[in-house]
């Protein structure tokens, strides 16, 4: 006799959780150079996540078939970046990282490196950016065969959600006011 237990929750708190991203020292300078072009970390993360669908279609996103998530390599002199990222971006990054089998910080670094490759080759800089409209990530285990299965589903749009656009624009307005 089999039973199915299911439940749903609606999480919206905290709206902008405190996060620590571990950035390798080798790409920290690149990240700082991209700041004037793409804005603060929130805006840049939104841009990178918007490119993730294209990277996946090109076969450039890694997928690690591991039960546990893969961490970044050792001896990279990881620098701590403390940021507050909107909950929806944090969740989108979590879904993408889970689907690839890596940690969230590792996924962020992978996306930065792909963007860095694009800049060197002059690819995709003005290419379309898509924003997540609805993102789902499922992970399950077949108890009989012992296999962990992952499924990611991304429904995307070419317009940022109004709440995200407001957060991104708010940061860029504050940055402009601070310079003058």
Answer yes or no: is pLDDT of 125 > 70.
no
Indicate whether 8 belongs to any domain: no
Indicate whether 6 belongs to any domain: no
Q: Sorting pLDDT into bands at 50, 70 and 90, what band is 112? A: very high
Q: What is the pLDDT of residue 98?
A: 92
Indicate whether 118 belongs to any domain: yes
Q: What is the pLDDT of residue 126?
A: 57
The domain in which residue 174 lies consists of: 18-179
For 101, residues 6+ apart whose C-beta sits below 8 A from its C-beta are 62, 63, 64, 65, 66, 69, 70, 150
Q: What is the pLDDT of residue 21?
A: 93
Indicate whether 3 belongs to any domain: no
Indicate whether 100 belongs to any domain: yes
Indicate whether 139 belongs to any domain: yes
Provide Rg for the chain, Cα atoms: 18
Indicate whether 140 belongs to any domain: yes
Q: What is the pLDDT of residue 14?
A: 87
Number of domains in the chain: 1
Answer yes or no: is pLDDT of 20 > 80.
yes
Answer yes or no: is pLDDT of 178 > 60.
no
Indicate whether 11 belongs to any domain: no
Structural contact between residues 69 and 101, judged by C-beta atoms closer than 8 angstroms:
yes
Answer yes or no: is pLDDT of 116 > 90.
yes
Q: How far apart, in whole angstroms, are the C-alpha atoms of residue 53 and residue 171?
A: 25
């Amino acid at each position: 006799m089999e039973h199915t237990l299911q439940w749903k929750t609606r999480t919206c708190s905290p709206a902008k959780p405190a996060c620590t991203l571990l950035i390798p020292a080798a790409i920290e300078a690149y990240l700082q150079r991209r700041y004037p072009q793409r804005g603060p970390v929130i805006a840049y993360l939104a841009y990178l996540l918007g490119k993730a669908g294209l990277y996946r279609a090109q076969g450039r996103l890694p997928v690690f078939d591991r039960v546990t998530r893969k961490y970044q390599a050792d001896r990279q002199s990881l620098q701590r970046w403390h940021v507050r990222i909107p909950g929806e971006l944090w969740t989108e990054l979590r879904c993408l990282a889970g689907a690839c089998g890596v940690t969230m910080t590792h996924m962020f670094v992978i996306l930065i490196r792909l963007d860095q490759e694009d800049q060197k080759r002059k690819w995709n800089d003005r290419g379309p950016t898509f924003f997540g409209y609805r993102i789902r990530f499922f992970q399950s285990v077949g108890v009989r065969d012992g296999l962990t299965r992952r499924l990611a589903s991304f429904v995307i749009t070419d317009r940022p959600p109004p709440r995200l656009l407001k957060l991104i624009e708010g940061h860029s307005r504050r940055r402009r006011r601070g310079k003058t």
